[in-house]
Structure 1
Amino acid sequence: ILLGGNILLQKDDRKELPLLYQTLYVPAGQRAELILPDSTKVWLNAHSKLIYPVSFKEGTRQVELDGEAYFEVSHNVDKPFIVRTKSMNVKVLGTEFNVSAYSGVEEFNISLLRGSVELSAPDLSRKYRMTAGEQILYREGKYSSARIGSMDYFKWKEGLLCFNNQPIHMIIDKLRLYYDIRIEVADLPFLKERYSGKFRVKDGVEQVLKVLQLEHKFTYVKDNELNLITIK
């Protein structure tokens, strides 16, 4: 886990005040927890980065996310909490939600567990207010809304990968993302089949593949030098 800082200057009518920002990066296959200056709790998933100020200034609380994070926002009606991502901004007063917005993935996903959040983006004609229990998915230029299904997914905060009746090709996409590894797959029939199961993140990508092999016929070869797994 890498933690760094850089100084930006903010102008006001009187003088230039230095703002110190911290950058927290979580490497592949790991996760992190932190408490922000306003007492907001954040869990950061694998291969994710969060930029936040050492102290929040008057009027607003703003952080920048590249990856996936779970927030328990400290309530403050006079100081909204804003999460900026590559595709959308999330504005809250005090709530609990999970947001996934990796810069290398053409998808935005937010699940609201408690409270209320407001979404805004350049391609949204107006701001959208979510309700508790709702999940918004943005993929291929389209938005969709659904109710949150299994709560097991959010156990990634505890170091668990949980899959609930998901197509295997989507599971492999998650493995690529969370472990930052290239996975090349032949066009095999089992990729369209669905799987449910739980894995410890620390056990690694090969543990998931070995369990899948118990039900499906395939082989794989791992090249550590190329950081590549080939499935055939």
Structure 2
Amino acid sequence: MLADGTKVWLNSRSTLTFPGSFKGNIRNVKLDGEGYFAVTKNVEQPFIVETNKCNVKVLGTEFNVMAYAADSVWETSLLEGAVEILVPGSNNSGMRLEPNMMASLKGNRLVKGRIKEADYFLWREGLLCFNDISVRDMIEKLKLYYGVDIVVNNTRILKNRYTGKFRTKDGVEHVLKVLKLNNKFTYTKNDETNVITIN
């Protein structure tokens, strides 16, 4: 919990930089990774989440931001309230979201849409949820969540699709063992280099 009462949940491999107390006319934090925010309302002191690609400005709301500096994906999803997304260095005035909407950055352009999957936010409760996702995209998420490098030599599995839920505490190898049930592959893990190779 932050000094103003705002609650923050951070996903794996995520960091949040914030002051001990908020002074001045804004409440400013910096996020690298993924965070879910339940912001305490204060009309006179907006809350701003800075990331490496976009900033999210709110007054009081619940929203999720995914902005890993090492990843090309940037997106935010709004569950309650309203947010404004600002692209630093851009000439446009930003984009406003309403509840159950999301925005993602495609190149230098913000794209708005409806939240596709409510289960996506269950990471706060220690669950990884995949809904009809390609194995290629699933592996990218596993790399982010578990901080491992995954090399895929068996590229035929990458276009396959998967739906399922996993407890994060069970680890990446548990996910791979379950994935192997429907996809024919083997894997090895080098503990010294933290690399998993899928053959």
TM-score of the aligned structures, taking structure 1 as reference length: 0.83
Which residue number corresponds to residue 10 of structure 2? Answer: 44
Matched, 1:208 2:148: no
Which residue number corresponds to residue 62 of structure 1? Answer: 28
Which residue number corresponds to residue 229 of structure 1? Answer: 196
Q: CA RMSD in A?
A: 1.1
Post-superposition Cα deviations, 1:43-101, rounded to whole Å, max 9, x if no partner, equal 00000010001011131111000000000000011110000000111100000000000
Tell me how far apart the structure 1 counterparts of residues 60 and 94 of structure 2 sit (CA, whole Å). Answer: 18
Post-superposition Cα deviations, 1:87-116, rounded to whole Å, max 9, x if no partner, equal 111100000000000010112110001110
Amino acid in the other structure paired with 2:134: P
Secondary structure of 2:158's match? Answer: helix
Q: Is the 8 A contact 2:38 2:62 kept in 1?
A: yes
| Larger Cα-atom Rg | 1
Which residue number corresponds to residue 128 of structure 2? Answer: 161
Q: Is the 8 A contact 2:95 2:110 kept in 1?
A: no
Q: How many equivalent residue pairs?
A: 198
Tell me how far apart the structure 2 counterparts of residues 142 and 53 of structure 1 sit (CA, whole Å). Answer: 31
Secondary structure of 1:68's match? Answer: strand
Structure 2: tracts of 5 or more residues without a match: none
Which residue number corresponds to residue 53 of structure 1? Answer: 19
Amino acid in the other structure paired with 2:131: N
Q: Percent identity?
A: 51
Tell me how far apart the structure 2 counterparts of residues 199 and 124 of structure 1 sit (CA, whole Å). Answer: 42
Which residue number corresponds to residue 158 of structure 2? Answer: 191
Tell me how far apart the structure 1 counterparts of residues 115 and 91 of structure 2 sit (CA, whole Å). Answer: 22
Q: Is the 8 A contact 1:106 1:140 kept in 2?
A: no
Tell me how far apart the structure 1 counterparts of residues 55 and 108 of structure 2 sit (CA, whole Å). Answer: 16
Amino acid in the other structure paired with 1:149: K
Matched, 1:143 2:114: no
Higher strand content, 1 or 2: 1
Secondary structure of 1:132's match? Answer: coil
Which residue number corresponds to residue 82 of structure 1? Answer: 48
Shift of 1:127: 1.6
Structure 1: tracts of 5 or more residues without a match: 1-34
Secondary structure of 2:74's match? Answer: strand
Amino acid in the other structure paired with 2:3: P
Shift of 1:124: 5.3
